[in-house]
Amino acid sequence: MSKRTYVLIHGCYKGGWIWKPVAERLQAAGHTVYHPSLDGCGERNHALRKGITIASQAREIAQLMFMEDLHNVHLVATSNGGNVAMTAASLTREHIAHITFVDAVVLFPGEKLKYAWPDDPDKDIPYENDGISTTIKSQDFDFGVPPEVQAWEKARATRQPEQTMNGVIEDCGFWEHQWSATTICCTKSPNPGESHQRRAHERLGSEWRELDTGHLPFLSMPDELAAMLMD
C-alpha cells in the first residue's frame, strides 16, 4: 500500500490528543499523520475567546495543509469535527484525496449542532455557555472503553468554543461538489445516530462502514478503526 498523509480532526471537548492511539498505528504503518488541536480546544484551551467558529477552525486546517505543503490528504473527522472537515475540504479541494467521517456530525447549511442529536428534546435551546465557551456535558453513554480509559479521557476534556456548538452552519459550498468519501457509523452510539449519518452518506454516495462500539472508537477500537482508515 502506498504511503498516505492523514489529517485527523477531533470533536467537541477534545483535542488532537484523542487521536493518539490511532495516529500511532497509522505512523507505525509508515503514514504521515497530523492530529492538531483546533483553536480554543485541548492544550489550546487557554486561547478561548469570542469569534472562534466552525469556519475559523476550518480555515486553520486549510492553512495547515498549505503551510505543510500537504497533498492527496486523507481527511478524517469525528463528531462535530465533521463540520470542520467539510468546511476545510471546501477551501482546499485540490489537496483532498478522501474524506472519512467517523461517527460524525455533517450538517447542511443553516442547521445547528443540536439538529443531529435525536434524543435532545430542547433543540432550540442553546448549549449552556458563558458567551465564550460551553459547559462540558456529562454523558452516561456506554463508550465501549474500560473505566480507566474513560477517566483518562474525562481528565483531558476542556470547554468548547461556544459558537462551534451553537452557531449556524454556513454554506461553504461543500455539497456542490463530488467527494471520495467513507462514512463509519458506530452502531452503539445514540448520537449522532445512524439516521443522521445515513443522510450525509446518501447525499455523498460514500462507502458505508460500521464499528460495533460507542462514540469513542479511537479509544475503544483503535486497531479496527486504523485498519479501516488504511483500507
Report the CATH number at residue 22. 3.40.50.1820
| 1-10, 99-108, 138-147: least confident range | 138-147
pLDDT for 206-226, tens place per residue?
999 999 999 999 999 999 999
| Mean pLDDT value of segment 33-61 | 98
pLDDT, residue 140, reads: 62
pLDDT, residue 150, reads: 87
Higher pLDDT, 10 or 119: 10
Q: Report the C-alpha gap between 65 and 160 in whole angstroms.
A: 23
| Mean pLDDT value of segment 165-186 | 96
Q: Report the C-alpha gap between 11 and 128 in whole angstroms.
A: 17
pLDDT, residue 119, reads: 64
pLDDT level of residue 1 (50, 70, 90 thresholds): low
Q: Which residues pair with 182 in a beta bridge?
A: 100, 207
Burial of 49 (0-12, 13-18, 19+ CB in 10 A): exposed
| Mean pLDDT value of segment 155-171 | 96
pLDDT over 70 for what percent of the chain?
96
Q: Report the C-alpha gap between 133 and 147 in whole angstroms.
A: 27
Please determine, for residue 120, whether its predicted confidence score (pLDDT) is greater than 80.
no
Of 218, 225, 228, 226, whose CA–CA distance to 14 is shortest? 218
pLDDT, residue 121, reads: 61
Please determine, for residue 145, whether its predicted confidence score (pLDDT) is greater than 90.
no
Structural domain boundaries enclosing 157: 5-230
Please determine, for residue 103, whether its predicted confidence score (pLDDT) is greater than 90.
yes
The HSE-up count of residue 101 (CA atoms within 13 Å, CB side) is: 35
- The domain total for the chain is 1
Burial of 2 (0-12, 13-18, 19+ CB in 10 A): exposed
Fill in the DSSP letter of residue 40: T
Q: What is the rounded average pLDDT for all residues in the chain?
A: 94
pLDDT, residue 137, reads: 76
Please determine, for residue 149, whether its predicted confidence score (pLDDT) is greater than 80.
yes
Residues in Cβ contact with 163 at an 8 Å cutoff, skipping those fewer than 6 apart = 50, 51, 52, 53, 54
- pTM equals 0.95
Q: Report the C-alpha gap between 143 and 36 in whole angstroms.
A: 23
| 124-128, 137-141, 226-230: least confident range | 137-141
